Chains A and B, each alone.
Chain A
Amino acid sequence: MKVMAQMAMVMNLDKCIGCHTCSVTCKQAWTNRTGTEYVWFNNVETRPGQGYPRTYEDQDKWEGGWTLNKKGRLQLKAGGRLKNLLTIFASPKQPSIDEYYEPWTYDYENLTNAPLQDHVPVARPKSLLTGKDMQVGWSANWDDDLGGAPELTVHDPVLKKVSDKVKLEFEQTFMFYLPRICEHCLNPSCAASCPSGAIYKRAEDGIVLVDQDACRGWRKCVTGCPYKKVYFNHKTGKAEKCTFCFPRIEVGLPTVCSETCVGRLRYIGLVLYDADKVLAAASVTDEKDLLDAQRGVFLDPDDPQVQREAEAAGIPHDWVQAAQRSPIWALISTYEVALPLHPEYRTMPMVWYIPPLSPVVDVVQETGVDSEDASNLFAAIDTLRIPVEYLAELFAAGETAPVTAVLKRLAAMRSYMRDLNMGRPGNPRIPESVGMDEATMYEMFRLLALAKYDERYVVPAAHAEQAHGLEELATECSLDYDGGPGMGGSGPFGEGSGGNDPIAVENFHMLKQRQTTDTVAEPESRKARVNLLNWDGKSAPAGMFPPRPGPDGANLREPEGDDSAALVQPLPAGGSVPGPAGTGTEPVARTDEDPTTGGRP
């Protein structure tokens, strides 16, 4: 037994309202740079739908993840090592920008600078790739809320797997949202595809990261990841992916997407697993056994033997305690209501989902029957082929039994809690019918419905004795690094060349650039855009308002570029004074309980 700790996430899909707040805050924190315009470490997809990038789940087409070869051994679906190297000059299965979308901005300047005319001036869309006018025809959420469903949704690869009958019934529509981040897999196929060995899994917490100094831009990871959650930064020529907000996790804070989640549907915690069992579990012959195999890899943190082995493996005691309190362990193994996304990719993903009961409840409700009644819901779960089959394709390799079991537990909880909320005694037969007792069911209800910040996010901080070595801790001045704070432009070999800047410094300069420029999209120049999402209300970015005539009638047009920096007081991201970590990405204190005060002066 080799015990390892893994930072993992569970999302409760019944609670997702598709507001995209997680995507936006993630983007502001991590990918608001040129080269990453199309990059969404976190995105929210409407299901059924094509997903992002389009039809990424069609592994016959994109060949992501793992497969079993003729000998029954685990192999990358895109081919063996030699084939991987021989196709390095033109990666045959890599999605091009069309499968994502061509990023654009608008010519906002025209709104204020256009001469007096009969017609209202318009802000034309400008491509961020070519700088030319463009027709916007697709984006990350073009089919949001089933928009354009008759033409677009039929291309959903998951829907195609479900039979024709279901397709027709689907006309009566169901939908739910699927927020996605990198899965930080136990058996990451992106890392296995990387020719340079630049993608690694951190031994302490299992977070999968790209070493930006070692990445050589072979872009094999993009093909290798079946979830298409490794992106190619087209300006720097390096792969980038979700970092699980490691600078925050290291100091005990949840990820930005979790912190800002309006529906509070995300849970973060540790799981302990047996690294020796991972390969065998990923190589199970029958895809339908993969779910159980993956569950079998996790170790019970309350088991004294596991604790001893964990200690022997160098896992700190407080981490084992955190694993015991972990909501992830509870949802996956105690209550068994969380399921992995596409276990058939054999990557052993570590972001799990509680499948939504709401599509079933909606159907029952429409028929006019009591949708809180356990027997009605059970009957509906058993008879409704949709959406159960659809959910099974997402979360259980097409096997409906595990999905049905989860939905029944959720239905039972709904029904059982109705009695309690109405002041009636709880009906013990309801929990029994799904194999739980009343106390466990109530505990599950507490975790799913009431859990506060510190119960949803059990993130043990990295250890203080490592602090100086950690990425973003302010044990030294954040400007005190090789090259000094005078950065912000491009090196001689293209954008971003000439050394890696600390995230805090990079964000600081980018914010300053955004606030002090007013030119139209110029992908070549980094002082490119007025980004109102990042405007803190304290200063006026140049270009936001038309120039005011001066006292002598002179037009006090702000000079462009760096000169204007003197006119505007730059502020760190979010308008807050940099905290001790100084990353500029962390919110003001813990804004969870009162989100309205976040970032306000």
Chain B
Amino acid sequence: MTTTADTLLWVVIPYVCLAFFVLGHAWRYRYDKFGWTTRSSQLYERRLLRWASPLFHFGILAVFLGHVMGLGIPKAWTEAVGMSEELYHVLAVSIGAVAGFSTVVGLVLLIYRRRTVGPVFRATTRMDKVMYLVLAVVIFLGMWNTVAGSVLNLGGHYDYRDGVSVWFRGIFRFDLHPELMADAPLGFQLHGMAAMLLFALWPFTRLVHVFSAPVGYLWRPYVVYRSRSDRLGARQARPGWERVERKEPSRR
């Protein structure tokens, strides 16, 4: 039975947040390429960063892959290749625990560094602080779900692959079943809602650097040449006044 509140929480809000996510990125890329950066603070401090940053980043990459696996791949597929429920569970919890642990340790160290190292703290914008808060909430709730739900089995067993995952895949098919989320344990609900909030904030924070992951570096020629003539200066054309016969801007 779907109530209005459920629809609002698990249909309307997710789509609004994801709309912010998509349109926000398009807008930011259009108007703020110059601000599109990692805003690295390594220049100020490198001893703590040396450990914290790789721990966090490699951890969060593994966590992301874990979510692709858990949310993106239907249960039927893993069973079709002969992976039993137990095996999946053991794999997910063990790998997930390691990845989650390094993410959490990295994040705690990074936040500690950001607060205690003077120049780093001064270079922290208000948006950074909001982002850190939401990101930390999402990660800790996710960690809680893994530890409390899957390891300690608090509040009984919940197979998110029959609930949350199905709901999540529905987003992309425009076929949402809010009752699946409404029936999920509170931990999962909070984690999902916090994640949606993070997605809405994403384009307006430094997290945009995720989308500039420089994978193309592996294939491009070492030295890039650009010709002056196919570049029309640092000045962007005003909207509506772009040159029509513009060539391809670069040979990156």
Q: Do these two chains really belong together in a complex?
A: yes
A contacts, CB < 8 Å to B: 81-82, 84-85, 88-92, 94, 96-97, 129-132, 187-188, 191-192, 194-197, 199-205, 211-219, 232, 234-238, 462, 466, 469-471, 481-482, 491-494, 496-500, 502-503, 523-524
A213 and B214 contact, CB distance less than 8 A: no
In B23-42, the 8 Å CB interface with A consists of 31-42
The reply to whether the CB of B77 lies closer than 8 angstroms to some CB of chain A is no
In B225-249, the 8 Å CB interface with A consists of 225-229, 231-239
Partner of B224, one of A96, A201, A234, A493: A201
Given contacts A96-B44, A470-B228, is CB(A493)–CB(B127) below 8 Å?
A: yes
**Whole-angstrom distance from the CB of A508 to the nearest CB of chain B?**
15
Q: Is the interface of B mostly helix, strand, loop or mixed?
A: loop
In B1-60, the 8 Å CB interface with A consists of 31-46, 49-51, 53-54, 56-58
Other A-B contacts than A96-B44, A481-B238, 4 sampled, CB-CB below 8 A, are: A81-B218, A96-B46, A211-B226, A499-B34
Given contacts A216-B36, A232-B43, A493-B206, is CB(A129)–CB(B223) below 8 Å?
A: no
**Whole-angstrom distance from the CB of B135 to the nearest CB of chain A?**
16
Expressed in whole angstroms, the Cα–Cα distance for A89 and B48 within the complex equals 12
A238 and B225 contact, CB distance less than 8 A: no
A493 and B227 contact, CB distance less than 8 A: no
Given contacts A90-B46, A92-B50, is CB(A215)–CB(B37) below 8 Å?
A: yes
The reply to whether the CB of B153 lies closer than 8 angstroms to some CB of chain A is no
CB-CB < 8 A to B127: which residues of A? 492-493
A523 and B122 contact, CB distance less than 8 A: yes
The reply to whether the CB of B212 lies closer than 8 angstroms to some CB of chain A is yes
B238 and A482 contact, CB distance less than 8 A: yes
CB-CB < 8 A to A131: which residues of B? 122
B33 and A214 contact, CB distance less than 8 A: yes
Expressed in whole angstroms, the Cα–Cα distance for A470 and B230 within the complex equals 10
Expressed in whole angstroms, the Cα–Cα distance for A498 and B35 within the complex equals 6
B contacts, CB < 8 Å to A: 31-46, 49-51, 53-54, 56-58, 118-119, 122-123, 125, 127, 204-206, 209, 212, 214-218, 220, 222-229, 231-239, 250, 252
Partner of B35, one of A91, A211, A497: A497
B54 and A129 contact, CB distance less than 8 A: no
CB-CB < 8 A to A130: which residues of B? 118-119, 122
CB-CB < 8 A to A493: which residues of B? 32, 35, 125, 127, 204-206
Closest residue of chain A to B228 (Cβ to Cβ) is: A204
CB-CB < 8 A to A496: which residues of B? 34-35
Expressed in whole angstroms, the Cα–Cα distance for A502 and B232 within the complex equals 12
CB-CB < 8 A to A191: which residues of B? 222-224
Expressed in whole angstroms, the Cα–Cα distance for A550 and B205 within the complex equals 48
Expressed in whole angstroms, the Cα–Cα distance for A499 and B127 within the complex equals 18
A234 and B44 contact, CB distance less than 8 A: yes
A96 and B42 contact, CB distance less than 8 A: yes
A201 and B225 contact, CB distance less than 8 A: yes
B125 and A500 contact, CB distance less than 8 A: no
CB-CB < 8 A to B235: which residues of A? 481-482, 500, 502
Most chain A C-beta atoms within 10 Å of own C-beta, residue among B42, B206, B212: B42
Given contacts A90-B49, A191-B222, A502-B235, is CB(A202)–CB(B227) below 8 Å?
A: yes
Expressed in whole angstroms, the Cα–Cα distance for A443 and B47 within the complex equals 56
Partner of B228, one of A88, A203, A482, A524: A203
B44 and A97 contact, CB distance less than 8 A: yes
Expressed in whole angstroms, the Cα–Cα distance for A172 and B4 within the complex equals 89
Given contacts A90-B50, A236-B37, A496-B34, is CB(A196)–CB(B228) below 8 Å?
A: no
Expressed in whole angstroms, the Cα–Cα distance for A192 and B217 within the complex equals 9
Q: List 27 A-B contacts (CB under 8 A).
A: A88-B214, A90-B42, A90-B51, A188-B223, A200-B224, A200-B225, A201-B225, A203-B227, A204-B227, A212-B234, A213-B34, A216-B36, A216-B37, A216-B209, A216-B212, A219-B42, A238-B34, A469-B231, A470-B228, A481-B236, A493-B205, A497-B34, A498-B35, A499-B236, A500-B33, A500-B236, A524-B122
Closest residue of chain A to B126 (Cβ to Cβ) is: A492
Given contacts A130-B118, A482-B239, A494-B35, is CB(A203)–CB(B226) below 8 Å?
A: yes
Expressed in whole angstroms, the Cα–Cα distance for A219 and B46 within the complex equals 13
**Whole-angstrom distance from the CB of B27 to the nearest CB of chain A?**
12
